[in-house]
Amino acid sequence: MTVYVVGLDGADWSLLRDGMDAGEFPGFARVADEGVTGNLESTLPPITFPAWKCYSTGKNPGKLGVYEWFGYDREEQSITTNDSSNFRSREYWDVLADHGVTPAVVNMPTTHPPNTDDGVLTVAGSPASERGEFTKPTSLKSELLDAVPNYRTKPDLVLDEATPEELTSEATTLADQRFDAAEWFADEKNCDLVHLTVFVTDTVQHRLWDHPEKIQELYGRIDARLTALLEREDTETVFLMSDHGFTEIDETFLVNQWLKKRGDLAVGDAGGRNALASVGITRERLKRGVDRLGLVNLAQALIPESLQRFFPSESGRLAIQDAPIDWTETKAISLGRGPIYLNDAAFESDAARAAYRNSLAEALSSLETPDGDPVAAAVHRPDDIYSGDLYRTPDLVVEYATGVDAPEAIGGSVFGERTEWLATHRRQGIFGAWGDGFGSGRFDCTLYDLAPTILHWFGAPVPTDIDGKVQRAILIGEPQQRSVQEGPETATAGGGETAGEEVEETLRDLGYMD
């Protein structure tokens, strides 16, 4: 028998309810009618990195040492890109493997490079590439590609140039491949637990929010696969979850441009990029040429990210990671949608640094959009929302108001810039549990609660350093009656194989970087 965890990146009940009520999504409706469903509160910020690892470890970012796709090395005054090696914890499937359970993980972001423990069959998710090694053990790659021909880790498209029809078709193919892989693990590898993530839902929602029929088309296909999964003879339990929810963008706020205008962030001359832009040579133009020639995969394989980033963007914006930052004149920088880091070298004393942090927090808290709405719902000190070692922690974490998107790019206007994204993340995602050992009704929980609840369901010990709780209220029968067994902590120092430039290449393709 198999437990399936179906992860849908960015899934939001607002995208599913109408189809469920109309009978168009019978799989989702069955989980809701026969099982437990509710909202799943994500972490802060509600971003793929680190949200998926918060789910799989049951821990907050302060214990993981990762707060967004990017980090800041204070000693080197440099921006770093996170991958699986940066997370400082084992995951719940590692614990299950210790106790005789055979788990498989398919396409979960944050698992590349695949640094899971031995005994966990892993097909890494974004930013992995099927052109390289993306499975553990490595021998699994050839078996997977035989079982699921043409398996791809990400869209074989230039996303900025794809039509809604092309993107939806590609997304449907990728979703099918995730379910195909999950069922293959159950059938051929006798896995007791299979986690699968459909990440492309996030991509489609960001870019096709103004084409709701295309989003519904994709979810219609996912529902068909979910329906089939519920009817499989081996299916014992199905968990349904997302790492965050989704909402329309009402306002774009370029926080680094705001810091620059305040005199808190200094950027030097763009040099050769300006010269290339003046003669019409841009990254977008090169991508269009590659797309027309049908050479997307080849170009990604042959052109390193370090060369791609040299070309300017048609928008005039520049990813802060590519900007020539003058650290001698910079006090603060925002990396991603929430974390803000202070440059320690810019302050003569701890008192001066603390005073600046307070004034910056107050400025962000009182900042309004051109329409008079708050930019931030709250501005947090990390130790107010995180616990643990707070390794490489930011100095402030901005919880942006619902509908405010705050990319890290610099250039253009502080407010009102148009990007390829039409929708952004919100904190409330989806949760469902159906099958043996689970009751029915509505129940809200947090992203941190899934790992301990799944461990307890299997009869495995729950690590004492997990933040989430075993949600006994949704359990029935023996799992509900059994006492929770405590286990050893799962903290690590991180480490393992690193991904290199693949991360930034993927983030740029997906629109997380200009």
SS3 252: strand
Predicted pLDDT of residue 495: 73
Q: What is the rounded distance in angstroms from the CA atom of residue 353 to the CA atom of residue 137?
A: 47
SS3 210: coil
Q: What is the rounded distance in angstroms from the CA atom of residue 494 to the CA atom of residue 452?
A: 21
Q: What is the rounded distance in angstroms from the CA atom of residue 18 to the CA atom of residue 163?
A: 25
Domain residue spans in the chain? 2-248+423-510, 251-270+312-405
Q: Are strands 428-435 and 36-41 parallel, antiparallel or unpaired?
A: antiparallel
SS3 307: helix
SS3 309: coil
Q: Would you say domain 2-248+423-510 falls under CATH 3.40.720.10?
A: yes
Helix axes 13-21, 212-231, angle to 10 degrees: 70
The CB-based long-range contact list for 213-219 (8 Å cut-off, 24+ gap) reads 214/164, 214/165, 214/167, 214/168, 215/15, 216/15, 216/19, 216/24, 217/168, 217/172, 218/168, 218/171, 218/172, 218/175, 219/15, 219/16, 219/19, 219/25
Q: What is the rounded distance in angstroms from the CA atom of residue 228 to the CA atom of residue 8?
A: 16
Each residue's pLDDT expressed in tens, for the chain with a length of 514 residues: 999 999 999 999 999 999 999 999 999 999 999 999 999 999 999 999 999 999 999 999 999 999 999 999 999 999 999 999 999 999 999 999 999 999 999 999 999 999 888 999 999 998 788 878 999 999 999 999 999 999 999 999 888 889 999 999 999 999 999 999 999 999 999 999 999 999 999 999 999 999 999 999 999 999 999 999 999 999 999 999 999 999 999 999 999 999 999 999 999 876 554 544 444 545 545 555 555 555 555 545 444 444 454 455 566 789 999 999 999 999 999 998 999 999 999 999 999 999 999 999 999 999 999 999 999 999 999 999 999 999 999 999 999 999 999 999 999 999 999 999 999 999 999 999 999 999 999 999 999 999 999 999 999 999 999 999 999 999 999 999 999 999 999 999 987 767 666 666 666 666 666 6
Q: Are strands 103-106 and 121-123 parallel, antiparallel or unpaired?
A: parallel
Residue 89 is classified by DSSP as B
Q: What is the rounded distance in angstroms from the CA atom of residue 38 to the CA atom of residue 17?
A: 12
Predicted pLDDT of residue 316: 77
Q: Does pTM surpass 0.85?
A: yes
Q: What is the rounded distance in angstroms from the CA atom of residue 314 to the CA atom of residue 312?
A: 7
Q: What is the rounded distance in angstroms from the CA atom of residue 373 to the CA atom of residue 361?
A: 17
Structure tokens at 317: 């914006």
